[in-house]
Amino acid sequence: MNHFALTATGLLVSAAFLAGPAPALADSGSTGADVSVATTLGSRELTVTLRRVTSVPGPLGVDVITHAGSGPGTLQLAVTPVGATTGGPPSGLVTSTAALALSGTPGPAGAVLTVDRTGPWELSVDDGLNVARIPFVVPGQASTPAEKSVYGGFVAAGVCLLAGIVVAVAARRTWLPALPGAALVAAVAVAVTGAVLSASTPAPPMPGQELDPTVANAADPYAEIWRAGGLSRPPATLLLGTTAVPRAAATPIGLSLCDAATGLPVDDLVVHDGALIHLMIVGPGGELWHLHPARTAPGTFTFTFTAPRNGHYAVAGEVERRGGGVQMLRSASGFDVTGPGTAAPAAAPLPATGGSRTIDGTAVQVAMLPAVAGTPVTLRAQVGDRADLQPWLGMLGHLIVVGPLGAGGAQTAPLWAHAHAMGAAAGMAMGASDAMVPVASAIGATLPDETVAAYGPTVGFTFAFPLPGRYQVWVQAERNYTIITVPIMVTVGT
Partner 1 sequence: MSPPNISPGRTGAAVVLLGAALSLVGTTWDIQWHVDVGPDTFFTLPHLLLYSGSAVSGIASLVIVIAATAATRAGRTVGPEAGGRPVRVFGTFSAPLGFLVSGVGSASFLIFGLVDLWWHSIYGFDAVLDSPPHIALFTSISITMVGAVVICGSARATRWGRTGLLISLPILMLYSPITTNAFNALRLPFDAASAGMVLFVVMLLVLGRATLARTGAATAFAAVLGAMQLALWWFAPWAARTYADAVGLPLRDDVGGRPPQVPASIPMFLLAGAVLIDLAVWLGARNHWSARWVPQVAGAVSGLLIAATFMLQELLISTRPAPVAGQFVVETLIGGAFGAFAGFLGWRFAGVLRGEQPPAAAPVLRIQEAY
Partner 2 sequence: MRRLAAPALVLAVIAAGWWLLWPSPGGVRLTIGSATHIVTVTLDSARVGDHDITVSVTDRAGAPETARSIQLVAVLPTMGYLSPVQTAPSVNSGRFVAAGVSLMAPGGWQLLVTVPGAAGPDRIPVPVTVTG
Say whether residue 270 binds partner 2 (CB under 8 A).
Answer: no
Residue 214 contact, options partner 1, partner 2, none, Cβ 5-8 Å cut-off depending on partner type: partner 2
| Contact assessment for residue 416 and residue 401, using Cβ atoms and an 8 Å cutoff | yes
Nearest to 328 by CA among 238, 450, 196: 238
Give the C-alpha distances (Å, rounded to integers) separating 201 from 209, 396, 441. Answer: 19, 34, 19
C-alpha 34/C-alpha 12 separation (Å) is 38
Residues 6 or more apart in contact with residue 351 via CB below 8 angstroms: 366, 488, 489
Say whether residue 171 binds partner 2 (CB under 8 A).
Answer: no
Burial call 93-122: b when 16+ CB within 10 Å, e when fewer: eebbebebebeeebeebebebebebbbbbb
Residue 83 contact, options partner 2, partner 1, none, Cβ 5-8 Å cut-off depending on partner type: partner 2
Nearest to 223 by CA among 232, 238, 213, 237: 213
Say whether residue 92 binds partner 2 (CB under 8 A).
Answer: yes
**CB neighbourhood size of 33 (10 A):** 17
C-alpha 391/C-alpha 478 separation (Å) is 7
Q: Which of 93, 169, 344, 407 binds partner 1 (CB under 8 A)?
A: 169
DSSP conformational letter for 149: H
Say whether residue 87 binds partner 2 (CB under 8 A).
Answer: yes
Say whether residue 363 binds partner 1 (CB under 8 A).
Answer: no
Maximum alpha-carbon separation in the chain: 106
Helix, strand or coil, per DSSP, at residue 412: helix
Q: Return the residues of window 321-350 that contact partner 2 according to CB under 8 A.
A: 323
Residue 234 contact, options partner 2, partner 1, none, Cβ 5-8 Å cut-off depending on partner type: partner 2
What's the min distance (Å) between Cβ of 223 and partner 2?
A: 9
What's the min distance (Å) between Cβ of 247 and partner 1?
A: 52
**For residue 378, which phi and psi values (nearest 5 degrees)?**
-110, 125
What's the min distance (Å) between Cβ of 115 and partner 1?
A: 15
Q: Return the residues of window 171-200 that contact partner 1 according to CB under 8 A.
A: 172, 174, 177-178, 181, 184-185, 188, 191, 195, 198-199
Nearest to 75 by CA among 146, 128, 4: 128
Q: Are strands 350-351 and 482-493 parallel, antiparallel or unpaired?
A: parallel
Q: Which is nearer to partner 2, 81 or 469 (CB)?
A: 81
Identity (one letter) of the amino acid at 241? G
Binding mask 46-85 for partner 1 (x = CB under 8 A): --------xx------------------------------
What's the min distance (Å) between Cβ of 215 and partner 1?
A: 17
Piece of 193-201, 237-245, 264-272, 478-486 that binds partner 2 (CB under 8 A): 264-272
Say whether residue 99 binds partner 2 (CB under 8 A).
Answer: no
Q: Which of 69, 71, 128, 158 binds partner 1 (CB under 8 A)?
A: 158
Say whether residue 84 binds partner 2 (CB under 8 A).
Answer: yes
What's the min distance (Å) between Cβ of 376 and partner 1?
A: 29
Q: Which of 2, 342, 358, 494 binds partner 1 (CB under 8 A)?
A: 2
Helix, strand or coil, per DSSP, at residue 192: helix
Residue 422 contact, options partner 1, partner 2, none, Cβ 5-8 Å cut-off depending on partner type: none
Residue 181 contact, options partner 1, partner 2, none, Cβ 5-8 Å cut-off depending on partner type: partner 1
Nearest to 456 by CA among 404, 390, 378, 401: 390
Report the interface residues with partner 1, using CB under 8 A: 1-2, 4-6, 8-9, 12-13, 15-17, 19-24, 26-27, 31, 54-55, 141, 143, 146-147, 150-151, 154-155, 157-159, 161-162, 164-165, 168-170, 172, 174, 177-178, 181, 184-185, 188, 191, 195, 198-199, 441-445
